[in-house]
Chain A
Amino acid sequence: MRRRSGLLFVAPALILFGVFVLYPMVTAFSYAFYHWQGTTRGGFAGLDHFVTLFTRAPFKTDMPRALLHNLLFFLGTMAFQNTIGLAVAVMLHRRPRTRRMLQTLYAMPYLVSPIVIGYLWTLLLSPTFGPVNQLLTRIGLDSWALPWLGDPDTALWVVILVSVWQWIGFPVLLYGAALGGVPEELSEAARVDGASHRQTFFRITLPLLVPAIGTVSVLTFIFAMEAFALPYAFGGSTGNPAGSTDFISLLFYRTAFDSGAADAIGTSSALATMLFIIIFGGALAATAVLRRHERRITA
């Protein structure tokens, strides 16, 4: 293909992507370094807005709390979703007849909008009419029939577990694909040499799955840091009850569109920039570690 016609083919995509993705993404950072009067840009602000995030109310208290919730969301998702997902994938492996069917069933909740999922579970867990508490009472677990979403101590864990429930099909699929790529000869050879099933799994299969585990971890991290729609459905934009389901994205949304403060654009952009640095830094660091591991096992 000649260069000129090639450029003509690329142009529509490039213009669309440039105007609506690249340009906003690049300017997003500059917003954080200027003073703002409503929507009018003022003088250069340096790091003032970032200092505000750490020193002034409500950010001084809300920001670290929200960030902690994002981190708990990440750790909780890693602990439940990825371990259950890996276990399920290992059990599904070598069941060619039911595997596709079950993988499909597990992936169903992923399709549903997080807003729908949030409202669905709000209704299912409702203390007055919710079927979950009804069921718990019926099987004699009255003491477990609690207002799970009304209690600041449990609400965050409801959000995390519901998200795990929604996304479990994703690690099952990815680990399934990775397991399909592990050569059977390796585990057969280990078995011939007298290794037990457990030894074969932990010494042979698991190390070969590390790249896949790494991918899932990085994607989980990005996903957990950006959590917005699901907590919004559960606790509104203020993270009810009592800020216990507040996340950085919710704080960003409140600051940018609900606060009415004169410097709202500057402060919220500083928040977005901070979140971007965390996401990008975390993803880069994890990818670097993964690359090193890959080199070690391919060498």
Chain B
Amino acid sequence: MSALPGLRSRGGIIAGQRSGTREVQRPVGGVTASLLLWGYAAVALVPLLLMVSSSFRTNADLITEPLGAPWPLSVASYKEAWTAGNFATYFLNSLLVTCGAVLLSTSVATMAAYALARARSRVFRWLEALFLSGLMLPIHLAILPIFYLFDGMGLIDSRLGLALMYGASGVPFSIFVLTTFFRQLPVELEEAAQLDGATTWQTFSKIMVPLVRPALATVAVFRFVPIWNDFLFPLVLLRKEEKYTLPVGLTTFFGENATNYSAVFAGLVITTVPLILLFLVATKQIVAGLTAGMTK
């Protein structure tokens, strides 16, 4: 999403050479700025910490003392949300849809990106432009035709349909990142493999794919977040509660339990935890995805 055509060319401006010998520059703003920066870190994190700490307190406790400590620790709200609130079902659905979609878009995009990076025919330049145009398309605006397309294919209220849809919408970004990576690999590797009698498919799967593994991680991790969090598509395309993903399940739960604060907090935490875990193990990939297209 951060890849607008006009901005890829920026490399020319920002790629200044850096000299090795130069006095160390003092940071802007000194101690005051340090305080501001750490103060802002608190602003970013405290609401999220409040969400977690409130989820470990009982409802009565929350109402009498909103700012109290989560002690003694109570997990009753989690039990309530997980079983009575159907979060176990929603969680599984979100996991199925998101993993399926990421797997699908990453695999088809890897194959396509390899061909786009290596084939010389003009058709491929045209196809690449077509795929990249998808980076600019606000796909949410096509929800009505998608709804009727799904209706015709019997995919309404289907987790498979949702995964196909997200898989397709991830294709442009994945191709954009992966093509850049494949282009950086030397052609000699493939030529050597071909001389040794490897087929095109073998060269691709045994030699090229392992070499772009860092890019695959970036693409998979970065696509995971928006799919996990998406709200409009499951809201429109799913009907039965047993098929709901977490964001839609959460609105149902919030509607029925608006005053059961601690259970709602538990639901919010359940929805968020997988992303926090993902972030902790893959910070680098997420940051790379956010700045894709900004730096060469």
CB atoms of A115 and B250 under 8 A apart: yes
Q: Is A63 an interface residue (CB 8 A)?
A: no
Residues of chain B with a CB closer than 8 A to A181's CB: 13-16, 295
Residues of chain B with a CB closer than 8 A to A135's CB: 67
Q: Which of A19, A116, A283 contacts B168, CB < 8 Å?
A: A19
Name B247's closest neighbour in chain A (CB-CB). A115
CB atoms of B33 and A294 under 8 A apart: no
Tell me, in angstroms, the Cα distance from A131 to B9 when the chains sit together.
47
**Contact status of A24 and B145, CB under 8 A, knowing A17-B134, A106-B41, A115-B251:** yes
The interface bits of chain B over 260-280 (1 if a CB of A lies within 8 angstroms of the residue's CB, else 0) are: 010011001001100110110
Residues of chain A with a CB closer than 8 A to B109's CB: 13
Q: Is B50 an interface residue (CB 8 A)?
A: yes
Name A168's closest neighbour in chain B (CB-CB). B44
**Contact status of A129 and B47, CB under 8 A, knowing A13-B175, A20-B169, A114-B231:** no
Tell me, in angstroms, the Cα distance from A2 to B172 when the chains sit together.
23
**Contact status of A10 and B111, CB under 8 A, knowing A23-B149, A134-B66, A184-B25:** yes
Residues of chain A with a CB closer than 8 A to B151's CB: 39
CB neighbors of B among A81-108 (8 A): 88, 90-95, 98, 102-108
Query: Which of B72-80, B210-218, B285-293 lies at the binding interface?
Result: B285-293
CB atoms of A5 and B200 under 8 A apart: yes
Q: How far is the CB of B36 from chain A (nearest CB, A)?
A: 7
Query: Which of A54-62, A68-76, A147-155, A265-273 lies at the binding interface?
Result: A265-273
Tell me, in angstroms, the Cα distance from A21 to B38 when the chains sit together.
43
Q: Which of A1, A27, A111, A298 contacts B200, CB < 8 Å?
A: A1
Q: Is B29 an interface residue (CB 8 A)?
A: yes
Tell me, in angstroms, the Cα distance from A128 to B54 when the chains sit together.
16
Residues of chain A with a CB closer than 8 A to B7's CB: 211, 214-215, 290
Q: Is B193 an interface residue (CB 8 A)?
A: no
Q: Is A276 an interface residue (CB 8 A)?
A: yes
Tell me, in angstroms, the Cα distance from A116 to B43 when the chains sit together.
17
Residues of chain A with a CB closer than 8 A to B19's CB: 184-185
Q: Which of B5, B41, B271 contacts A287, CB < 8 Å?
A: B5
Size range of the chain A interface in the assembly? 35 or more
CB atoms of B119 and A3 under 8 A apart: yes
Q: Is the interface of B mostly helix, strand, loop or mixed?
A: helix
CB atoms of A112 and B146 under 8 A apart: no
Q: Is A291 an interface residue (CB 8 A)?
A: yes
Name A176's closest neighbour in chain B (CB-CB). B291
CB atoms of A111 and B115 under 8 A apart: no
Tell me, in angstroms, the Cα distance from A28 to B141 when the chains sit together.
8
Of listed A9, A22, A294, residue having the most chain B CB within 10 A: A9
**Contact status of A107 and B286, CB under 8 A, knowing A12-B112, A13-B131, A232-B231:** yes
CB atoms of B141 and A17 under 8 A apart: no
Q: Is A249 an interface residue (CB 8 A)?
A: yes
CB atoms of B13 and A129 under 8 A apart: no
**Contact status of A165 and B144, CB under 8 A, knowing A13-B171, A119-B254:** no
CB atoms of B231 and A229 under 8 A apart: yes
Residues of chain B with a CB closer than 8 A to A14's CB: 112, 127
Tell me, in angstroms, the Cα distance from A93 to B37 when the chains sit together.
11
Residues of chain A with a CB closer than 8 A to B167's CB: 16, 20
CB atoms of A170 and B111 under 8 A apart: no
8 tightest Cβ-Cβ pairs between the two chains A and B: A181-B14, A183-B16, A20-B168, A6-B119, A9-B115, A13-B112, A113-B229, A24-B145
Excluding A20-B146, A94-B27, A111-B279, 9 further A-B contacts by CB distance (< 8 Å) are A9-B115, A17-B168, A19-B149, A114-B229, A116-B250, A226-B140, A229-B232, A232-B231, A276-B138
Q: Which A residues have a C-beta under 8 Å from some C-beta of B?
A: 1-3, 5-7, 9-10, 12-14, 16-17, 19-25, 27-28, 31, 39, 88, 90-95, 98, 102-116, 119-121, 123-124, 128-131, 134-135, 165, 168-170, 173-174, 177-178, 180-186, 188, 197, 208, 211-212, 214-215, 218-219, 222, 226, 228-229, 232-233, 249, 253, 256-257, 265, 268-269, 272, 275-276, 279-280, 283, 287, 290-291, 294, 297-298
A-B residue pairs in contact (CB < 8 Å), sample of 21: A6-B124, A7-B115, A20-B167, A20-B168, A25-B145, A106-B41, A108-B276, A109-B47, A112-B275, A116-B250, A116-B272, A123-B265, A165-B44, A185-B16, A185-B19, A212-B10, A212-B294, A275-B141, A276-B141, A287-B5, A298-B13
